[in-house]
Amino acid sequence: MVSCRALARPVRTRIAPSPTGDPHVGTAYVALFNYALARRHGGQFLLRIEDTDRQRSHPASEAMIFDALHWLGLSWDEGPDVGGPHGPYRQSERSTIYREHAETLLAKGAAYACFCTAERLAALREEQKAAKAAVMGYDGLCRRLDPADAKTRRAAGEPCVIRLAMPEADSVTVHDLLRGDVRFERPQMDDQVLMKSDGFPTYHLANVVDDHLMGISHVVRAEEWLSSLPKHEQLYRAFGWEAPVFCHLPLLRNADKSKISKRKNPVSLNHYRRAGYLPEAMLNFLALMSYSMPDEREEFSLDEFVAQFDLTRVSLGGPVFDIEKLTWLNGRYLRRLSTEETIGRLRAGVLSDAYLGQVVALCRERVDTLEGFFDYASFFFQGALAYDAAAREALVPKGRTAADVRKSLLALVETGVDPLLEWRPDTVEAALKAFAEGAGWPVKELFMAVRVAVTGRTATPPLFETMAVLGKELCRRRLRGAAETLR
């Protein structure tokens, strides 16, 4: 059902996340379909870390991706953590491979060195934008350089990038499993950078080289990649390799149909985990996005999903990630659990010894009876908070307006919380202080507002420790919730 060509070789699929943030729900979505395709055909599913952007890649992010995917019950046959015959599975450890391949392309004349500075490129972009140019990309200046000269300059150590020499055809036709032939007109096909001046490859090069070397038969990825397919197919052609089958999945959407984003929707898998969604429900829900079982069944296990999986059944409209339906589904799963099983789930999370231990350590000296403990520490066990009149008042320091605080809380989430990959008392403190300074807020005022937002109270254990225990996702959610009540 996948295509004749595909059956000729083993089905090997992969998920290739970039470790630049919190584990994303879209990663899980694409991983699920890749997993199902491989399993359905008795092939392999691999995990590859695409960390060629050394500015933004973070080991903590990588660890969270593994953890979140494992939590969902997805496993891979090859990957950085489990090894495999085609390793290493971390692109940052494959630099020489990319360098060699870039040289191959250079030697074939399929790529060329480009000495244009970032400044020139920025200026060029400005110019094109200002002129409302129809064709936007790189203008090919260095492509016209004499190859011998370029070689000399490169040998002399002049900084440069390697660009792919795209054919100068009027149009190119590529193939997508679900969309069929897709024809691109000449713009949109400029000479992409393959190797950055820091010696690391870009996504385009690394991705194609690795997919080929790792024997990937089907590239199932998000639709945002569709427009770079001409470049990728050109790379396969330039190398003389057989291209895999490409299939682009529709993007998950916000309620307003835009591409799912953290400003409009929780996108971190950690959020759903902390909020108490069951992994099997989450997976089931994700499978409902753009897909349907032949018998229209809506509740099914991973194995049942895999057993009937047919890539051609995915529909192409961008599915809105509807948390209400996810929550309904989750309720169905939760109710199916026995009391013992439910207790087990609670014990794996908010009632674990580890979590309880942290909470008790923070609260014990502030409580006189065991019962008092439950009153005092209740916010450690709740989800979104309801802010009463007193809390709302404490949220807004004298001399500030609700709108002002609201904006600041939201800004704090965006600039202070979201980028913080390591969530500990010291890092939280640093982030909060940095934000206060940048926003011109007296720390005392900001900390009280945050304290109330995050706990619903004015009297709590030390703020940073408390926030560390609550976790990034819950803090984020309550910060946004507080901002919302200030509307």
Residues annotated catalytic, as ranges: 262
Q: Which of 223, 418, 445, 465 binds RNA (CB under 7 A)?
A: 223
Helix (H, G, I), strand (E, B) or coil at 118: helix
Look-up: residue for tokens 């992010």?
61
Instruction: Round to the nearest angstrom and report the end-to-end CA distance of the chain.
Output: 52
Give the residue among 372, 464, 377, 474 at the shortest CA–CA distance from 424: 464
Kindly give the residue spans of alpha helices, DSSP state H, lying in 337-424.
Answer: 339-347, 353-363, 370-376, 389-395, 402-411
How far is it, in rounded angstroms, from Cα 354 to Cα 348? 9
Q: Which is nearer to RNA, 181 or 365 (CB)?
A: 181
Smallest gap from Cβ 55 to RNA, in A, equals 7
Contact range with RNA by CB under 7 A, out of 60-68, 224-232, 346-354, 471-479: 224-232
Q: How far is the CB of 440 from RNA (least distance, A)?
A: 29
474 touches 355 (CB < 8 A): no
What is the footprint of RNA within residues 54-93 (CB under 7 A)?
56
Q: Two tokens at 155?
A: 């040998």
DSSP 282-311: HHHHHHHSS---TT------HHHHHHH--G
Angle among Cα 375, 377, 380 to the nearest 5 degrees reads 135
Shortest CB 172 distance to RNA, Å: 10
Instruction: Return the residue matching tokens 């370029």.
Output: 150
Residue choice 193, 214, 450, 463 for contact with RNA (CB under 7 A): 193
Pick from 8, 107, 118, 370: which binds RNA (CB under 7 A)? 118
Rounded to whole angstroms, how far apart are CA atoms 15 and 10? 17
- Please name every residue paired with 268 in a beta bridge, in sequence order, or none if there are none: 24
From 66-74, 200-208, 365-373, 439-447, give the range in contact with RNA by CB under 7 A.
200-208
User: Is residue 159 near RNA by the rule CB under 7 A?
Assistant: yes
Find the binding residues for RNA in span 163-192 (CB under 7 A).
178-179, 182-185, 187-188, 190, 192
Q: Which span (12-20, 78-86, 266-274, 350-358) binds RNA, by CB under 7 A?
A: 12-20
342 sits near RNA (criterion: CB under 7 A): no
Task: Tell me which residues in 278-317 interact with RNA (CB under 7 A).
Answer: 288-292, 294, 296, 298, 312-313, 315-317
- Residues contacting 352, CB < 8 A, separation 6+: none
Longest pairwise C-alpha distance within the chain: 83
Query: How far apart are the C-alpha atoms of 168 and 265, rounded to whole Å?
Result: 42
If binding is defined by CB under 7 A, does position 356 make contact with RNA? Answer: no
Residue 116 contacts RNA per CB under 7 A: yes
Residues contacting RNA: total by CB under 7 A: 76
Distance, in Å, from the CA atom of 13 to the CA atom of 15, rounded to the nearest integer, reads: 7
Residue of 100, 328, 361, 393 interacting with RNA (CB under 7 A)? 328
Residue from 315, 467, 446, 300 nearest 380 by CA? 467
Single residue of 6, 12, 14, 18 touching RNA by CB under 7 A: 18
Q: State the nearest-atom distance from the C-beta of 257 to RNA, in Å.
A: 4
- Kindly state the smallest distance separating residue 378's Cβ from RNA, in Å: 19
Residues 373-432 that bind RNA (CB under 7 A): none
Indicate whether 99 belongs to the interface with RNA (CB under 7 A). Answer: no
Residue 146 contacts RNA per CB under 7 A: no
Whichever of 85 and 317 has its CB closer to RNA, that residue is: 317
| Minimum distance of RNA from residue 291's CB (angstroms) | 6
- Which is nearer to RNA, 1 or 343 (by Cβ)? 1
For the segment 226-285, give every residue that binds RNA (CB under 7 A).
Answer: 226-228, 250-251, 253, 255-259
Q: How far is residue 11's CA from residue 6's CA, in Å, rounded to a whole number?
A: 7
140-146, Cβ contacts within 8 angstroms, sequence gap of 24 or more: 140/190, 140/191, 141/114, 141/116, 142/112, 142/113, 142/114, 142/115, 142/116, 143/112, 143/114, 143/191, 145/112, 145/113, 145/115
CB of 101 to RNA, least distance (A): 15
Whose CA is closest to 102, among 48, 57, 139, 154? 154
- Residue 161 CA to residue 98 CA, distance in Å, equals 13
3-state secondary structure of 28: helix
Least distance to RNA, CB of residue 473, Å: 22
Rounded to a whole number of angstroms, the minimum distance from the CB of residue 483 to RNA is: 23
Which two tokens mark 482?
Answer: 């507080």
Which stretch, 47-55, 374-382, 413-421, 446-454, contacts RNA (CB under 7 A)?
A: 47-55
Per-residue binder mask for RNA (CB under 7 A), 126-145, x = binder = ------x-xxxxx-------
* By the rule CB under 7 A, 331 interacts with RNA: yes
For 302, the token pair is 């991973």
Cβ proximity to RNA: between 168 and 353 the closer is 168
Stretch that binds RNA, among 71-79, 197-205, 394-402, 405-413 (CB under 7 A): 197-205
Residues whose CB falls within 8 Å of the CB of residue 117, separated by 6 or more in sequence, listed in order: none
Nearest CB to RNA, comparing residues 13 and 460 = 13
| Contacting RNA within 446-485 (CB under 7 A) | none
> Toward RNA, which CB reaches closer, 121 or 439?
121
